[in-house]
Structure 1
Amino acid sequence: MSWMCVLVMLMLGPVLAQCTVSGNTSGLMEYTADSFSEKAHSGKTLFVYFGHQVSPDISLFLVQLEKSAEALLDYGISVAKVNCSKEQVAKFCTGEKLMKKAYLFRGGEVLKSFDLDTVFDVDAIVSHILFAVLFDELRYVQSDADLQALERPARGRTDMVLGYIRMLGTPEHRSLMETVFVYGAKYQFVLTTGGPILDPLGVGSSSLSSGVWFLHCRVHRGGLAIPTVTSDRCPLTPMRKPLSTLGLYAFLQLMEAPIVSEVYEDPSSQVHVSQAPHLHTPLLFLFSRPSTEHLDLDTATTLAWRLRGLAQLVLVHRESPAVKTPQEYNAAYRLPGQGSEVKYLTLTNLEEVMELFTDQEGEEAELHEEEAEDEEGEEGEKWPTMDMLDDEVGESVYRDRGHSLDMDSVVQLTSHTFHDAVAQSGLTVALFYLKWDAVSMAFLSSFVEVAERLADSEVPDVQLGVVDCGEWTDLCAAQPGGSSRPPAPFQPITAFPSVLLLRPQDAAAQRYSGMLGSEALHRFIMLNRLASPVLLASQEEVTSFLQEVPLLPYLADYRPDRALGLFRTHTDTDVPVFIEAAKSLRGEVLTALLSDGLAERCAVDHGVDLPAVLVFGSSRIHTRPSSIPIPSSSEELATHIHSALLHSLPELTVGSLPSYLSLGRPLLLLFVGEEEDERGRRENEAALEEMRGVAEREETEERFLPCWIHIGHTPAGASVLESYLGSLPALPALVLSHLSTGRELYHYPPNSPIVAHSIIQWLQRIADGVEPPAGMMGDERWMPVAPFYDFLAVMDQEVPGHAQQRTPQTKEKKKRGRGVARNDSEEDRNHKEEEEVPRGRGGDDRRSDSSTAPLHSEL
């Protein structure tokens, strides 16, 4: 689903290029004769205009050519011009004063030439060039016999998409070609521009509208067969909405959805069927009883095929206690759009349903015509609304769309060079990204920054490379052990951006699941350069490891968490378990293995029995390490090590928050301010010391999680506190939140000193029910402004067993909280790391409980 979610960004690429392409303000290049020759033979696709003099008509063409440059960049096609008054390129710079042709090159050869009258604007340029590049992906038909000849070999193998384009070079033609670019390997696309084929499709020869039809030539994936038909033709479903990029995307998504979805909840709840289609399609609910379940399913299937493309059908099982609809109703429907109400009906035959949605279709068509008239001539006003989008990642990429990004420090990896590049370097860090995905483009900048930092430090045997999955789909979708030679060392990439670490000697890649920021990635790479585990062979090495003295100079900047495995011999049966766990922790935890006499001596010093694992937290000063017995599996051992590294009084940051929320304990949360002077520093230290006293009490450890947020380290903490209490109190401030009993918030009396025994008494008053709450946490749903900007949902798909519920937050609070975070980033760039996208261990707990919303959504 995450792959399909980002595909819409590709289909919108020519428009969203404004907010995702990092490059010159204009993507139009001007080549010299030498640079043209070099680019033409580079193997890439080029669209070039050669000109002498410029007439008014050619001036208009050059304006459109410049606009198309950014759009075509998304498809790996460079756009350029050559001034033949200054440069002479053989065969193309002729003696004509006004040259009225443009050329498409691939591999040094002319793929196609275009009269300027043909490529008259951006839509025409993009559609014609994609048409030429994707010519082999399309089949052209004029008659029904031509279409039938294509259907026969497609039966049982692939579905087909038939597009009727009334005139080439139009926006409809461009939308179809962009769709072919995305889905060309998935469906067989067929194009017609008119002729006898229109009559069987029900299109009049005088029709002014282009159209699309989906031909169901393969068995439906939903487990419900296509109804029996009397001929050997593929059943077809027309796209009833006007042909546009987004409309076509939603239509294809709807064709992929199950023909009937079965649910056990009431339609009045937010029934979640297929993620994308229902956002643009009405939902029809039919109610099923246990006694007639099979008959109801057959009826629903028959009706669903008649409504295919008009509405998505949902079968509601009445035996579920969650279904509250009165028995008098046997159907209901909900129109597209968030907040649309459910309307209940009592239907007596299927034709009533058809009339209902046929009428809705007519009303919707009139609405589309009115919207199209409103938008006509307002092209310049469309995309400034991007500033209003709710997702800060997308907005930041849009704001920085004109800034160039130097990619010289990273290797451009392709399906042809990938395996050789990995084999030639000790460690390859590969970023798989999409140019039309805002998160990818935001992280690409950080990735390049890490590459430049490694190059400046002259770090040997590490290379950073990037894979554009929009261009090299075969590499990103390769199956391990599949037909590719050599086989891909990773599973197909379905979430973007993704970072993999690859070594020539390893059969499988290691996935980076940390923060999407330069500092976190740099730390991960540097720690990965060390063996995991390190084999300690002398007392000096043991002392260096235990005293946090860097084993290698490049670790001097880091104080990593450490885990030391102690074994009697290298051949102990538990050694492989520890080694596998150490490999899974590589880049996060520094691990070492000790055996024989050195291990026995270390075990005596720390009072443990062999075999054992000693865990040293990076922020624990002068404290004894945690001791872990060796379990039966490496996964269990890695989990135990992670748990041992959780602090008894942690500082909550963007990176650490998911791990602690996953514990499911109420938060006893201390907010401290910035230390503007020595007095402020002492006050913070005193408050934290009292909190440590609370944390050390056994009853507190069982009931609460004492923790703290430093407003200076995590500026968003200020908006969190304000959302809790409605205003910012004096700091330090103590709050109890995320209670399992409800959404109450408790504020420690601001005039009382923060002392351990007073805090314990306050907690007891809360437990006894005599302390009044200071407020309640909101529970309203917090949805993205558009489905293709739901980046949190995309990130959730990466984690097995992820929670589906969106964090609640009111619209007003969301704007206020995000505004605070944005202003912080603008005023203080030193806090950049805190604004990066959180991922990794514990990331699936972001929305595991609606009561966590104000804290996690603000951070």
Structure 2
Amino acid sequence: MHNSGIMNAWSVVALLLCFGCEQCAYGNPAKLLQLTAEGFKEHVHTGNTCLVYFGKHADQLVQKFVEQLEMSAVALEDYGISVVLVNCSEENVVHYCTEKEVMRKAYLFRGADVLRSFEIDTIFDVNAIVSHMLFTVLFNEVRYVHTPAELVGVERLAKGKTDLVMGHVPALGLPEHRALMEAAFVYGGKYQFVQTTGAPLLKHMGIADASPAQARLWFLHCNAVSRPSEPCPHTLMKKPLSTINIHTFLQLMEAPVLVEADVDPDEVDVIYNHLNAPVLFLFARTETLHMDRSTAETVAWSLRGEIGLVLIHRDSPRVKTPPSYNTAYRLPHKEVKYFTLKNIEEVVSLIRGHPFQEDEEEEEDEEQWTSLDVLDDEVAESVYRDRGVMLDTESVLELTGNTFSTAVTQNDLTVVLFYVKWDTVSMAFLQQYVEVADALEDVNDITVASVDCGEWTCVCRDQNVSSFPLVLLFRLGVDTQSYRGMLGTESLYRFILLSHLSIPFSLSSSDEVLSFLEGDLYSRYSSLSPVRVLGLFTPDDPDVAMFEESAKFLRGEMILGLFKHKEAERWVHEHSVMLPAVLVSHGPEVPRKSYSLHLSTLQEIISDIRRATLDTFPELTVENLPCYLELKKPLLIMFVGGEESPENLRSLEEMRKAERTGRLGSWLPCWIHLGRTPAGRTVLETYLSYIPPLPALVLSQLSSVGHVYHFPTERPLLSDNIIHWLQRIDNNQEQPAGVIPDQSWRPPVPFYDFLAVMDEEVPGYAAQQRPKEKPVGRKEVDDEQKKRAGKEMTFKPQSTSYHTEL
């Protein structure tokens, strides 16, 4: 494919002419081959590479895909790949025209062999089709790396032999991915191409403050490195990833670092002019030529890939530039401009500034992104702040479409995180997930894994994953269980260990029942959950199976036991309930609660058990608040300070006394510790518009008119006073201290109109195009350059930054 110089030259011409022109890319859908079953068999036997789609009864979605397929046929033809459509409504191709496969997949054939199949929602447009096909065809030539260690291994093999071209794309199938694959097709015989989609390599390449959503390309100068211990210097392409820009960048990498001339800058004709690259001119004198040349080389290396640099011999009789000018530069197709600069830093600032950009366009883009920045919440902020942190994910098994089924069927318990890299919540939770995996490394029979749904959409679709992040637990012979708790380390860790238990525990005697309720039996699990629920049934009760099924559903939330025995009658008699029943224990010194079960449906018994485990005077936290809000009762909240003062303890005890009277059934008495739950301070201030002296008692009627009542600070916080105050509120004798506004929460600024951006790319068709990347500011570019300086300078000539004319 890459052996011939003629082939390389022709491919470059095809790329520059065809993919730089919209008409070429979309102009001739007739190149799509529509074949019969017999024609398909004859076509694959030619041995050529072809993309084949078997379809029938096309709906609107499929019709859109066929349109994209037609437009991609012209582009793929330049790479020797034909595009074939077989209508299964009229033809029958064995193994392909089936109800299961038809319309869902397209197949890449090389001869009669299938190289790979693609879900049609993966190859959703021309860019995705072309990039995926080339990536598959070039599979053995383009190395895929994810970690710095893998890249170092590729560098080690390339040193002294070839240079590397590494591209980072946020996801496969994007226009940047297509541009990288097209470049690999053309230049794959000259350079070793490397591709990555992960963020860990960004920091390794010196970009600590960067968004993983931005595509980038580096040229690693490994060919000139002879010592195995010496790293390969690299040059970052500053322009967006496009076919033209990559071609220009690689040509600049092949061009001389420094060109010398003895004519005025206006008359210099060098390769940079033909590459539409800016050209910087420095001047030198004969007596200091060695020093000036060395300094110019240093500047050239620091700006390589951005400009071309020409050193003008001022002593030449053909050089008429006035001595007052010591620097000049020329933009593509523009006149040369002359400057008088003081030092090398000013030269670099001149290049790194804005002269080579369109000011109006940059200001417009900045205004658009300013609104987007306001939309970021605390989660996005934390992910952005930690974007340079490289996660050690060795303890998490990364699953693919090929390994998923095997993994979840070979282990006793497999915990799988389904996530996407563009979702900030997913990336924030991924850090917590890795911590959980590290903590579970020594636990037998538990495998912690993950699936990137951005790359393996087929796996996530088969598991009905519709929201991210999602944690599913897979057990042999048991239905899949989803994690419904907080996205935090402690909560998930506790859930996984509790889910590993074979519950309900079957108890065989009253002694075991007592030991179970007091926490002595299975005491090693007491730290995971203080709540224990025991189901009491007669030996012949047919509803035991429903309780066992509900216990399996509640795995991970609590510890459940089952006492199916004739002595169950004695236990329910002692607790004044009827069989079947549940006993709930919160610890040996806490009074047990008992409830009769109404076994009508599985969902009802699950709800009854959950309600039975709720505390009658709970401490509200961010984690348990949703459970108590489901009761739909007004919240009677005692806000206590962070310090453990006698006044706090007395107030809480008075609330417990009021609760034990049984006269607070219409409300949910609860309390918030502002030290353990700092968000409670914000809640209190929202209710009252200020922070009152603590402890403070507040009644919040969220489910009715939104009134908030504050217990008068001048009255003693006693149980009788609390009950009397609530009665006055019921009788409309108390004035509310505040009102919770009944209004929807809206974003602070209008959402960014991505569809409008798509239509700008392709008028009238909002395809899966991406808006322009947020422009990197001057300061960020300078910072990145400083961080890369050490690595890049290892390849530069050793010299001072002194120049005789600067």
Partner of 2:772: none
Tell me, in whole angstroms, the C-alpha distance in 2 between the residues paired with 1:414 and 1:71. 27
Question: Paired residue for 1:411, among 391, 397, 415?
Answer: 397
Residues 417, 472 of structure 2: 8 Å contact kept = yes
Partner of 1:566: 536
Tell me, in whole angstroms, the C-alpha distance in 2 between the residues paired with 1:126 and 1:494. 38
What TM-score do the two structures reach when normalised by structure 2?
0.52
Residues 208, 388 of structure 2: 8 Å contact kept = no
Residues 671, 731 of structure 1: 8 Å contact kept = yes
Q: CA deviation at 1:584?
A: 1.1
Residues 425, 503 of structure 1: 8 Å contact kept = yes
Counterparts of residues 82-97 of structure 1 (less than 5 Å) = 83-86=222-225
Counterparts of residues 720-735 of structure 1 (less than 5 Å) = 720-735=683-698
Residues 372, 752 of structure 2: 8 Å contact kept = no
Question: Paired residue for 1:535, among 461, 486, 506?
Answer: 506
What TM-score do the two structures reach when normalised by structure 1?
0.49
Residues 216, 241 of structure 2: 8 Å contact kept = no
Residues 414, 447 of structure 2: 8 Å contact kept = yes
Q: Secondary structure at the match of 1:592?
A: strand
Tell me, in whole angstroms, the C-alpha distance in 1 between the residues paired with 2:243 and 2:493. 42
Tell me, in whole angstroms, the C-alpha distance in 2 between the residues paired with 1:408 and 1:476. 22
Question: Paired residue for 2:553, among 574, 578, 584?
Answer: 584
Tell me, in whole angstroms, the C-alpha distance in 2 between the residues paired with 1:761 and 1:596. 47
RMSD: 4.7
Residues 550, 556 of structure 1: 8 Å contact kept = no
Question: Structure 1 777/71 Cα, relative in aligned 2: closer, same or farther at 3 Å?
Answer: closer
Partner of 1:744: 707
Q: CA deviation at 1:31?
A: 3.8
Q: CA deviation at 1:668?
A: 1.5
Tell me, in whole angstroms, the C-alpha distance in 1 between the residues paired with 2:209 and 2:370. 17
Partner of 2:382: 396
Partner of 1:652: 620
Counterparts of residues 32-181 of structure 1 (less than 5 Å) = 32-34=155-157, 81=220, 83-86=222-225, 121-124=239-242
Partner of 1:757: 720
Question: Paired residue for 1:599, among 568, 582, 586?
Answer: 568
Question: Structure 1 687/537 Cα, relative in aligned 2: closer, same or farther at 3 Å?
Answer: same
| 1:236-288 Cα distance to aligned partner (Å, 9 max, x none) | xxxxxxxxxxxxxxxxxxxxxxxxxxxxxxxxxxxxxxxxxxxxxxxxxxxxx
Q: Which amino acid aligns with 2:225?
A: K
The structure with the largest alpha-carbon Rg is 2
Tell me, in whole angstroms, the C-alpha distance in 1 between the residues paired with 2:209 and 2:395. 23
Question: Paired residue for 2:651, among 678, 681, 687?
Answer: 687
Q: Secondary structure at the match of 1:32?
A: helix
Partner of 2:58: none
Q: Which amino acid aligns with 2:466?
A: T
Q: Which amino acid aligns with 1:557?
A: S
Question: Structure 1 734/764 Cα, relative in aligned 2: closer, same or farther at 3 Å?
Answer: same
Tell me, in whole angstroms, the C-alpha distance in 2 between the residues paired with 1:535 and 1:78. 61
Q: CA deviation at 1:586?
A: 0.8
Residues 68, 126 of structure 1: 8 Å contact kept = no
Residues 71, 126 of structure 1: 8 Å contact kept = no
Residues 397, 448 of structure 2: 8 Å contact kept = yes
| 1:506-552 Cα distance to aligned partner (Å, 9 max, x none) | 2x310111111010000100111111211223555433311112516
Partner of 2:678: 715
Tell me, in whole angstroms, the C-alpha distance in 2 between the residues paired with 1:473 and 1:124. 26
Q: Which amino acid aligns with 1:466?
A: S
Question: Paired residue for 2:741, among 762, 775, 778?
Answer: 778
Counterparts of residues 319-338 of structure 1 (less than 5 Å) = none
Tell me, in whole angstroms, the C-alpha distance in 2 between the residues paired with 1:787 and 1:405. 34
Residues 524, 588 of structure 1: 8 Å contact kept = yes
Question: Structure 1 740/601 Cα, relative in aligned 2: closer, same or farther at 3 Å?
Answer: closer
Q: Secondary structure at the match of 1:613?
A: strand
Q: Which amino acid aligns with 2:469?
A: P
Question: Structure 1 753/583 Cα, relative in aligned 2: closer, same or farther at 3 Å?
Answer: same
Residues 743, 777 of structure 1: 8 Å contact kept = yes
Residues 387, 395 of structure 1: 8 Å contact kept = no
Do structure 1's residue 498 and structure 2's residue 470 form an aligned pair?
yes
Q: CA deviation at 1:122?
A: 2.5
Partner of 1:471: 455
Q: CA deviation at 1:88?
A: 9.7
Question: Structure 1 35/769 Cα, relative in aligned 2: closer, same or farther at 3 Å?
Answer: farther
Tell me, in whole angstroms, the C-alpha distance in 1 between the residues paired with 2:587 and 2:492. 20
Q: Secondary structure at the match of 2:242?
A: helix
Partner of 1:525: 496
Q: Secondary structure at the match of 2:658?
A: helix
Tell me, in whole angstroms, the C-alpha distance in 1 between the residues paired with 2:212 and 2:149. 11
Tell me, in whole angstroms, the C-alpha distance in 1 between the residues paired with 2:361 and 2:637. 50
Q: CA deviation at 1:33?
A: 2.9
Q: Secondary structure at the match of 2:650?
A: helix
Q: Give the gaps of 5 or more residues in structure 2.
A: 1-120, 129-145, 166-171, 192-200, 248-275, 277-357, 754-806
Question: Structure 1 373/626 Cα, relative in aligned 2: closer, same or farther at 3 Å?
Answer: farther
Question: Structure 1 439/693 Cα, relative in aligned 2: closer, same or farther at 3 Å?
Answer: same
Tell me, in whole angstroms, the C-alpha distance in 2 between the residues paired with 1:474 and 1:527. 30
Question: Paired residue for 2:520, among 549, 558, 570?
Answer: 549
Q: Which amino acid aligns with 2:597?
A: P
Tell me, in whole angstroms, the C-alpha distance in 1 between the residues paired with 2:469 and 2:245. 28
What is the total number of aligned residue pairs between the two structures?
Answer: 474
Tell me, in whole angstroms, the C-alpha distance in 2 between the residues paired with 1:730 and 1:723. 15
Tell me, in whole angstroms, the C-alpha distance in 1 between the residues paired with 2:696 and 2:244. 58
Q: CA deviation at 1:659?
A: 1.9
Tell me, in whole angstroms, the C-alpha distance in 2 between the residues paired with 1:98 and 1:654. 49
| 1:756-811 Cα distance to aligned partner (Å, 9 max, x none) | 11122222322333322222223343213578899xxxxxxxxxxxxxxxxxxxxx
Question: Structure 1 52/417 Cα, relative in aligned 2: closer, same or farther at 3 Å?
Answer: closer
| 1:547-588 Cα distance to aligned partner (Å, 9 max, x none) | 1125163x242234222122222x531111111111111111
Question: Structure 1 689/674 Cα, relative in aligned 2: closer, same or farther at 3 Å?
Answer: same
Q: Give the gaps of 5 or more residues in structure 1.
A: 12-22, 54-61, 90-96, 103-115, 130-168, 170-371, 479-489, 791-859
Residues 27, 70 of structure 1: 8 Å contact kept = no
Tell me, in whole angstroms, the C-alpha distance in 1 between the residues paired with 2:653 and 2:520. 28
Q: Which amino acid aligns with 1:435?
A: K
| 1:26-67 Cα distance to aligned partner (Å, 9 max, x none) | 998784334999x99xxx9998999999xxxxxxxx99x969
| 1:109-147 Cα distance to aligned partner (Å, 9 max, x none) | xxxxxxx9xx88333169989xxxxxxxxxxxxxxxxxx
Residues 518, 588 of structure 2: 8 Å contact kept = no
Question: Paired residue for 2:433, among 434, 447, 461?
Answer: 447
Tell me, in whole angstroms, the C-alpha distance in 1 between the residues paired with 2:572 and 2:489. 38
Tell me, in whole angstroms, the C-alpha distance in 2 between the residues paired with 1:771 and 1:69. 58
Residues 397, 438 of structure 1: 8 Å contact kept = yes
Q: CA deviation at 1:625?
A: 2.1
Do structure 1's residue 637 and structure 2's residue 605 form an aligned pair?
yes
Q: Secondary structure at the match of 1:543?
A: helix
Tell me, in whole angstroms, the C-alpha distance in 2 between the residues paired with 1:630 and 1:35. 71
Partner of 1:622: 590
Q: Which amino acid aligns with 1:632?
A: S
Q: Which amino acid aligns with 2:529?
A: R
Tell me, in whole angstroms, the C-alpha distance in 1 between the residues paired with 2:686 and 2:413. 45
Farther-moved stretch of structure 1 (573-582 vs 654-663): 654-663
Residues 515, 521 of structure 2: 8 Å contact kept = yes
| 1:395-440 Cα distance to aligned partner (Å, 9 max, x none) | 2111111111111110001111111111221100000000000010
Partner of 1:675: 643
Question: Structure 1 80/500 Cα, relative in aligned 2: closer, same or farther at 3 Å?
Answer: farther
Q: CA deviation at 1:493?
A: 0.6
Identity across the alignment (%): 43
Residues 584, 592 of structure 2: 8 Å contact kept = no
